[in-house]
Amino acid sequence: MENPAQEIAHVVRSLTMGSPQQQQDAITAYFLSDASFAHPFCRVPSFPRGAVPFAPGTDSRALVLAVYRWYRTLSPRIQLSVDSAVFDDRTGLLYLSIHQIFSLWFLPFHKADVQLVTVLHLVRRASPNAEHARPDGPAGGTQPAEQKLKQKEEGREQPAQEEQAQQEQTQEQQEQKQEKKQETQGKKPVKQKEKQEKQHQRKATQRPPEQQLKYYIASQHDLYQVTDFLKFVALPFVPLLLCFLQLLSMVLCVVGSVLLRPLYHFMNDVSDREVGIEL
């Protein structure tokens, strides 16, 4: 993804409401090969390919795909919408507010109308599989076929890269001539900083697709309220009973805060300077 906050809704719809091929393509294109998954009902730890005995070709992303397939098997007709998406570029966390209606196909009257918050940890890389490329192959022997093919393509692309370098050099020479012309005409030349930014943008756009940095999903963590979580498995009256218990707990909190107000002040007798709070 180049713009996670704008593109993630399409990714979520492909995973939860798309065809089997669209679901698999979304997992392969947007998840790292060692991506992890956490949900109240299941968990997929992060592990690379080759870490599972007797299954050297299996990585954690393959298990995430299996989880999503089972999710669609239980509820083939899911209604889901991404209400909001906020990306924190500093931490690499993408927060999603999601509303979904999950219904089991073998229970005609089952319908779980729930809200959840999904936290995605994103990393920026050139490829979802780039971090596992090893020059000596999986067992220190021959190189993998993917790497051999890449080396062949690099040999073919070398003349094209030389031609591209010549084009860049010609373009820089033209820009230098234009700057000199502006100086002779008394016009203000382009600043060096702006020139460097333009060159950086031009080189970034001229990179081949496999070398462009994009955001990939390293982990997914689904968070539910307890009442919403119980809607998946409990009888209809159980979430209502829990809601009543929560209201009762709120009443007890109010009563306790009133009756034990002196104890509250005694236990929390600290100055603002001690905790570093200034209002």
Domain boundaries, the chain: 4-126+213-232, 145-211, 242-275
DSSP string for residues in 194-259: HHHHHHHHHHHHTS-GGGS-EEEEEEEEEEE-HHHHHHHHS-THHHHHHHHHHHHHHHHHHHHHHH
Q: Which of 26, 50, 39, 65 is nearest to 216 (CA)?
A: 26
* pLDDT band at residue 83 using 50, 70 and 90 as cut-offs: very high
- Overall fold of domain 4-126+213-232: Nuclear Transport Factor 2; Chain: A, (3.10.450)
Specify the range with the lowest mean pLDDT, choosing from 28-32, 113-117, 153-157, 208-212: 153-157
Whole-angstrom Cα distance, residue 218 to residue 121?
5
Residue 58 burial by Cβ neighbours in a 10 Å radius (0-12, 13-18, 19+): middle
Q: What's the confidence (pLDDT) of residue 220?
A: 98
Side-chain half-sphere of 180: how many Cα atoms within 13 Å? 6
Q: Which of 129, 122, 8, 127 is nearest to 62 (CA)?
A: 129
Q: Are 62 and 33 in contact (CB under 8 A)?
A: no
Q: Are 183 and 189 in contact (CB under 8 A)?
A: yes
Q: What's the confidence (pLDDT) of residue 116?
A: 96
Q: What's the confidence (pLDDT) of residue 29?
A: 96
The percentage of residues in the chain with a pLDDT greater than 90, rounded to a whole number, is 52
Specify the range with the lowest mean pLDDT, choosing from 2-16, 23-37, 155-169: 155-169
